[in-house]
Amino acid sequence: MRVVHVHRMRGIGGSERHLLTLLPALAERGIDVAFVGLDDPRWDPADFYAALTVPALRLRSARDIDPYLLARLPRALRADVVHTHLVHADVYGGVAAKLRRAKLVSTKHNDDPFRQGAFRHVERQLLRMADRVVAITDALRDFTVQVGADESKVQTIHYGLDALPEAWGDNPPDDVPATARILLSTSRLTAQKGVDVAIRALPSLPDDTVLVVLGEGPERARLESLARELDLERRVFLLGRVPDVAAWLRRATVYVHPARWEGFGLGVLEAMHASLPVVATRVSSLPELVVDGVTGKLVEVDDPNGLAAAIDQALEEPGLGVAGRDRALSEFSVARMADRHVALYATLASASS
């Protein structure tokens, strides 16, 4: 069976890292798998393609509305199943799949608020077009049904992970004090991820705790300004993208994820593999990962004081991290994720025979 995955490329985030894990696992299980990237030229996805181990075709995707891409893509999608990820791939890959008369699977990676706004009318058409819809958490499955999906077509397949992310280079020197207790976050600098809440929590925490954020995004200037305003320049480190995330996970004391909404939280799962206690918000998918009081702490959204109190407790309970690693290994393995995808494809194949 030939399965082609389609994704618009704008760097490496959670969905891209998911594909770097899933696609080789599918190939190991006998699926003839390939990848078609819709490359936005404003971003450089070179790291993704260097790490990808299955055949890939790159198509330029400079604009949101691109008739040229719609003309080219059907020729590239010679497959039994076309599997799309995120909205651009859903639109272009979905139309191309139907023109090729291939089965269409769409994975939903996030409960973005725009899916409930004016875009919901487009979203519902895309959901109707798909033969199956994969939600990466139960919370996202419920959200997708609420948006308008046929409940019988939607199933949950959690992300899977077996190890910490591999490095693609050495980290540059940094100014983080060697004796500091590090609160780590690996996330894009966007309002969704709530890094501002973590910064506001710092003044209530011991002076030897610092916040290190690995990621880039449009909120950088605002977050830097907030750190200056609170006189926290020496305790907040926005390091951007780094080549060796695992090194920072091993160096950290607690992982913080004060997101306002979240599709999955792959960084949380990576932190669990590193035996880090996790302090996260009680939203979306995060209670499916973090068991409050067992593997970490859950707090309310936009509550710096509550976040600080939970971090203070987690700093004194390293056993939370040990329990988190056990949960990650037992509940969120690559084998479980890949096997469920293979079973889904087999169901579609039998339905069309």
Domain identity same for 341 and 289: no
Calculate mean pLDDT across residues 156-160. Answer: 95
Are 257 and 185 a contacting pair, CB within 8 Å? Answer: yes
Task: Confirm whether 346 is domain-assigned.
Answer: yes
Residues 6+ apart with CB under 8 A from 103: 80, 81, 82, 97, 131, 132, 348, 349, 352
DSSP 243: S
17 and 74 in contact (C-beta within 8 Å)?
no
In-domain check, residue 165: no
Position 67 in a domain: yes
The number of beta carbons lying within 10 Å of the beta carbon of residue 331 is: 14
Note whether 202 and 306 are same-domain residues.
yes
CATH code of the domain covering residue 133:
3.40.50.2000
Tell me what the mean pLDDT of segment 128-148 comes to.
Answer: 94
Mean pLDDT computed over 129-148: 94
In a domain, 166, yes or no: no
**For 42-62, what is the mean pLDDT?**
91
Does the pLDDT of residue 352 top 80, yes or no? no
- The model's pTM: 0.84
Whether 229 and 309 share a structural domain: yes
Asked if the structure places residue 309 within a domain, the reply is yes
AA letter at 114? F
- Alpha-carbon gap, residue 43 to 66, rounded angstroms: 17
Tell me: do 325 and 337 sit in the same domain.
no
Q: Which residues contact 65 (CB under 8 A, 6 or more apart)?
A: none
Mean pLDDT of 130-137: 96
Instruction: Tell whether 244 and 108 lie within a shared domain.
Output: no
User: Is 175 domain-assigned?
Assistant: no
Domain that holds residue 226: 181-331
Per-residue model confidence as pLDDT tens digits over 257-287: 999 999 888 999 999 999 999 999 999 889 9
250/188 same-domain check:
yes
Domain shared by 152 and 268, yes or no: no
Are 193 and 151 part of one and the same domain? no
* Total domains in the fold of the chain: 2
Q: What's the CA gap between 343 and 132, in Å, rounded? A: 12
Residues 153 and 13 in one domain: yes
Tell me how far apart the alpha carbons of residues 321 and 138 are, in angstroms, rounded to a whole number.
Answer: 23
Query: What is the share, in percent, of the chain residues with pLDDT greater than 70?
Result: 99
pLDDT-derived band at 353, boundaries 50, 70, 90? low
The whole-angstrom separation of Cα 323 and Cα 338 is 24
In this structure, are 133 and 11 located in the same domain? yes
Question: Quick one: 153 and 188 in the same domain?
Answer: no
The answer to whether residue 174 is domain-embedded is: no
pLDDT digits (tens, 9 = 90+) for 169-216: 899 999 999 999 999 999 999 999 999 999 999 999 999 999 999 999
Q: Which of 102, 106, 33 is nearest to 73 (CA)?
A: 102
Q: Are residues 313 and 323 in the same domain?
A: yes
**Domain membership flag for residue 250:** yes
